Amino acid sequence: MVFSLFSRFVSLLQAIYWPYQKFLSKRIWLLLPAIAGAIVLWSALAIPAHAYDVQVSPASPTQGDTLSVVVQGTENGEAPTVTVGDTTYTAFLLSGTRYRAFVPTSPNTSPGRMTLKISGPEGKNNIAVNISDRRFNTQYITLSSSRAGLEGTDEEFDRLDALRALRTPERYWRGPMSKPSNGYVSSIYGNQRYYNGVFAEGYYHRGVDYAAGNGSPIYAPAAGRIALVGRESEGFVLNGNTIGIDHGQGVTSVMIHLSGFAVNEGDFVQQGQLIGYMGATGFATGPNLHWGLFVNGVSVDPVPWRYDGVE
């Protein structure tokens, strides 16, 4: 109907203006390569519009913060990846078509501009974030020669490395994490040290220490699977009795210097559940719990996880 009306209209035009119409059609043929070129150029320019929609939090990160990189994907799409320098972080499904990758930072992260490269089937984006410089406390430790010579074993390092390498797709934690001990905080995250007057390059306190009585309860700061129970008698010489919890999506907890255990490897624990007892096993000067929170293998500041919480 529309077409027949149109052809009638064209016939009418042809009848009245046929010499002009002939001239116009020739010009249109000449214009076609230009139109095709414009379409190709438009497609090329339009590609960035198909790149990912990305949100990074916190808005003003500092050393020790965990960057949460939320990427809006598509239905049945593949998970994108986030690369910083040589390290690629896997994004896990958060909800619907939202994926999230954690980028850990620490006192060893250079302050200043950090470029996050987001890549996947939907395209590529580069996002720049600024990591602000943070002052960490400095401690001066004097060690006796026997203490200074205390070294860990392959057994404990290998098993702790395996724990921190876990990238379980499920997310077990919900809401802010809770304190693992009712003791007082005796040492915060990130402290840097001089041992016998020599600056310990690359060292920083990879956790938070709580001090209370020997045998006082230790609770799971968040839900997860007990992925490691390491005993001093089985080679955990430096860390002492150790519990490792897999909270999922690359987030793990390490609790060391325990006097005893209330869980077994493979158990699933809820937030606040009793998991063990404070002690002074391994390299400890007195009863304390050292809790290290690791994100994609890097010890991060647990404070934002404890107070603000991370989705």
Which residues of the chain form contacts with Zn ion (CB under 5 A)? 207, 209, 290
Reported as type and span, the H/E element at residue 15 is helix 2-46
Minimum distance from residue 197 beta carbon to Zn ion (Å): 21
Minimum distance from residue 186 beta carbon to Zn ion (Å): 8
Task: Output 208 or 228, the one with its CB closest to Zn ion.
Answer: 208
Minimum distance from residue 244 beta carbon to Zn ion (Å): 15
Minimum distance from residue 291 beta carbon to Zn ion (Å): 8
**Closest residue to Zn ion: CB criterion:** 290
Minimum distance from residue 150 beta carbon to Zn ion (Å): 15
Task: Output 248 or 292, the one with its CB closest to Zn ion.
Answer: 292
- Degrees to nearest 5, angle at CA 227 with 178 and 290: 45
Minimum distance from residue 209 beta carbon to Zn ion (Å): 4
- Contacts from 74-83 at CB under 8 Å and sequence distance 24+? 74/122, 77/120, 77/121, 77/122, 78/120, 78/121, 79/120, 80/52, 80/118, 80/119, 80/120, 80/121, 80/122, 81/118, 81/119, 81/120, 82/116, 82/117, 82/118, 82/119, 83/116, 83/117, 83/119
Measured CA to CA, the distance from residue 45 to residue 118 in angstroms comes to: 19
The pair of structure tokens assigned to 238 is 């430096």
The pair of structure tokens assigned to 47 is 């590609």
Task: Output 169 or 213, the one with its CB closest to Zn ion.
Answer: 213
Measured CA to CA, the distance from residue 244 to residue 236 in angstroms comes to: 13
Q: At 168, which amino acid appears?
A: T
The pair of structure tokens assigned to 250 is 């690359």
